[in-house]
Amino acid sequence: MIIEMNNIRKQFDGVEVLKDISFGVDSGEVVSIIGPSGSGKSTLLRCATFLETIDGGEILYMGQKAALTNQNGEAVYVDHKELTRFRNYCGLVFQQFNLFPHYTVLRNLTDAPMVVQHRSQEEAEQTAMELLAKIGIADKATAYPFQLSGGQQQRVAIARALAMKPEILFFDEPTSALDPELTGEVLKVIRQLAEENMTMVVVTHEMPFAKAVSNRVIFMADGVIVEQGAPRDVFGNPQEERTKQFLQVFER
């Protein structure tokens, strides 16, 4: 199993956003997380990628503990060096691209591999150009983010995450900032990665995409996992009333 998150709790200003969440993802699995806004989906991804610290529970990557709860009920993380190693296992693609505006596309892809993973410029640039060719924008290597469409920027963001060679890739509503035409560009790339057995967790409101590409769908609401299972079961025969209510909105 690539990642396990057990009994995860997280609160902000006394409001419990994640309430005893447990789930895991196997190698090659594509898991879609759906649910209403404010259900804790994005917070879960930020905790999984160490952008937020958990208040309780444990996080394991490749069977090794990155965070755990001590005897006082407090979450404790491994030291900085070990945490850097765990961070290299995962990549996160944000809603708003988060590209460096003053860097070219190529430098956006090569900066972290060179600085964080100490790869040579030659190796980093070769990997970057291969990824840009794969997503169909190798001709934009010398362009700056403002010169790209939203769909192109999000594809660059995906390539940037892949340039770190993660074991698992997390997507936080990768198409929410795009119009329908550009959404198709990005979903096509994610579909391609799924076909190549890339391990992925995708928070999305694109129900047809989640239905078609996922091995498993998780429905979250109010900080808990309400229901999960194969797409045909969650979409075709949901067991929980809260799941039924949510999906009915998309069927109208």
Percent helix, strand, coil in the chain, to 5, is: 40, 25, 35
How does strand 15-25 pair with strand 3-12? antiparallel
pLDDT value at residue 200: 97
Strand boundaries in the chain, DSSP class E? 3-12, 15-25, 30-34, 56-61, 64-69, 75-77, 90-93, 168-172, 199-203, 216-221, 224-229
pLDDT value at residue 68: 95
Q: What is the dihedral of CA 211, 36, 234, 95, to 10 degrees?
A: 30
Q: What is the number of residues in the chain?
A: 252
Q: How many CB atoms lie within 10 A of CB 197?
A: 11
Long-range contact set of residues 242-251: C-beta below 8 Å, sequence gap at least 24: 243/219, 246/34, 246/35, 246/36, 246/219, 246/221, 247/207, 250/207
pLDDT value at residue 165: 94
pLDDT along the chain (252 residues), means of 10: 96 94 96 94 96 96 95 92 94 89 97 94 96 94 95 93 96 87 87 94 92 95 96 94 90 58
pLDDT value at residue 251: 64
Q: What's phi and psi for 234, nearest 5 deg? A: -65, -45
Distance from C-alpha of 209 to C-alpha of 5, rounded to nearest angstrom: 25
